[in-house]
Amino acid sequence: MAELSGKYLVGVYDDDDTVLHAVPRLRKAGVKIKEVYSPFPIHGLDEALGHPRTRIGIAAFMFGVTGCCTALTMMIWMMGIDWPMIVGGKDPISIPNYIPITFELTVLFTAFGMVITFFISNGLGPGTHFHPRFDVRSTDNKFVMAIDLGRNSMSIEDISRALKDSGAEEVNIKQF
C-alpha cells in the first residue's frame, strides 16, 4: 500500500460525547485510529484510543528528588564545609533552617523539569508553528479523528462508511 502512505482520512465530529463513543466502536470494527484532536481535554479519550498512561509523573518525581538533593548538598557544603559559619549560636549544618529553601528548590526543579519533559514528549517547541494539522477547526469547536491509511488494511470506502456511521459529520482526505 505504498501509494497510501502519507494519506489520511479525517473524520470531523461536532460533539465530544459522539467522538468519545465513536472511538471504541471504530476500534472494534478494526479501524486503526492515529489520533483524535480536540479543542479541550475529553476525559477517557486517551484510554479509549489505547494510549498508554503517561509516565510524566515518574519524571516529575525524579526532578523533585534532584532538586531536593541539590538544595541540601549546596547548603551543607557552603555553610558547613566550605566556610563553616555559626549564626545565632546554631550548628553550621542546621537542617531545620534549610527546609524552606529545600522545599522551594524541590518545587522549582519539579515544575521546570516536568514542563520541559512535557514539551519534548509532545514535540512542542518554538519554531514548530507549522505543525501539520488535519483540520484547523480542531482548536475551535470540532473534534477531529485522523486515520493513517498507510497503516490500515481496510479500504477507504469501508473506513469512510464506518466513520459516517459513528457520527462523523464530514469525512475528508488529507495528503501530506
Partner 1 sequence: MHVTSPVREPLIQGGKTYADVTEDICRHVEGSPTKEWKIAFGISLIVLAYGSVCLAWTWWEGLGVWGLNKTVGWAWDITNFVWWVGIGHAGTLISAILLLFRQKWRTSINRAAEAMTIFAVICAASFILMHMGRPWMAYWALPLPNAFGSLWVNFNSPLVWDVFAISTYFSVSLVFWYIGLIPDLATIRDRATSKVSRFMYGTFAMGWDGSAKTWARYEYISLILAGLSTPLVLSVHTIVSMDFATSVIPGWHTTIFPPYFVAGAIFSGFAMVQNLMLITRVVYRLEDYITLEHIETMNKVITLTGSVVGVAYITEFFIAWYSGVEYEYYAFFNRMTGPYWWAYWAMMTCNVISPQLFWSRKLRRSITFTFFISVVVNIGMWFERFVIIVTSLHRDYLPSSWTMFSPTRYDIGDYIFSFGLFFTLFLLFSKYLPVVNMAEVKAVIRSTSANLPQKIAGVAKVRQRGTAEPVYNKDKE
Under the rule (CB under 8 A), what is the footprint of partner 1?
Answer: 14-17, 35-42, 45-46, 49, 51, 54, 56-57, 60, 74-75, 78-79, 82-83, 85, 87-88, 90, 94, 97-98, 100-101, 103-105, 107-108, 110-112, 114-115, 118-119, 121-131, 133, 135-143
Closest separation in Å from C-beta 62 to partner 1 = 13
Instruction: Write the CA distances from 128 to 2, 118, 143, 161, integer angstroms.
Output: 28, 15, 22, 34
Residue 14 to residue 29: CA distance in whole angstroms: 21
Nearest distance in Å: CB 65, partner 1: 14
CB closer to partner 1 out of 60 and 159:
60
Shorter beta-carbon distance to partner 1: residue 21 or 161: 21
Q: Which residue number, 38 or 160, has a Cβ lying nearer to partner 1?
A: 38
Find all residues with CB under 8 Å of 149, minimum gap 6, and list them. 1, 4, 7, 8, 9, 156, 159
Cell of residue 7, nine digits? 494519506
C-alpha cell at 42: 475529553
Element holding 171 (H helix, E strand): strand 170-175
1 or 99: CB nearest partner 1: 99
What kind and span of H or E run contains 175? Answer: strand 170-175
The CB-of-13 to partner 1 minimum distance in angstroms stands at 8
Residue 30 CB, shortest distance to partner 1, in Å, is 20
